[in-house]
Amino acid sequence: MKIAIASDHAGYRLKQALLPVLEEMGMDYDDLGTVDEQSVDYPDYALKVATGVARGQYDRGVLVCGTGLGMCISANKVDGIRAVTAHDTFSAEMARRHNDANVLTMGERVVGPGLAAEVMRVFLTTDFDGGRHARRVDKMTGIERTHGGC
Ligand code: RB5
């Protein structure tokens, strides 16, 4: 599985803490920045990860900012992206099983590195349940076609 991970300055330290976890998990990943704690704009990093996932270059994305929220809102602007903010393992599991979420966002100011690692681990190792949930995910995608840009 190929993963894209990125953060803004407010998520930089947590993003750095997650990299060895990806390595331990044997994940193939690209760190798309940022590279330090100098102030940057989170939509720029959300766009890099979201477009990479939407184009099929990556299977999943992980984004970290201060809260996880700005990254989530930004990533969800890209067609084909189902980004969720999750700071607990139950939400991470259900986001995969029922919503087929493809981008996880977390906030460094919200969650510690230990729990964040577990949330990411669950998100990256849980499969979509399919079945009736596939119909609903298809309907979400349909909203992009029918209401995109309005
Ligand atoms: C940066 O200060 C902060 O606004 C950002 O990291 C994020 O929390 C936005 O949603």
Q: How confident is the model at residue 142 (pLDDT cuts 50, 70, 90)?
A: very high
Spacing, Cα 54 to ligand 1 middle (Å): 23
Q: What is the CATH number of the domain that holds 136?
A: 3.40.1400.10
List the domain range (segments joined by +) for residue 22: 2-147
> What total number of domains does the chain contain?
1
Q: How far apart are CA 62 and CA 146, in angstroms?
A: 28
Q: How confident is the model at residue 147 (pLDDT cuts 50, 70, 90)?
A: very high
pLDDT of residue 148: 83
What predicted TM-score, i.e. pTM, was given to this entire model? 0.98
Spacing, Cα 129 to ligand 1 middle (Å): 32
DSSP conformation class of 104:
E
**Tens digits of per-residue pLDDT, 82-128?**
999 999 999 999 999 999 999 999 999 999 999 999 999 999 999 99
Q: Is 150 a catalytic residue?
A: no
Ligand 1 pocket test, candidate residues 8, 45, 64, 76, most atoms within 8 A of CB = 8
Q: How far is CA 25 from CA 35, 39, 74, 118, 136, in A?
A: 22, 30, 27, 11, 30
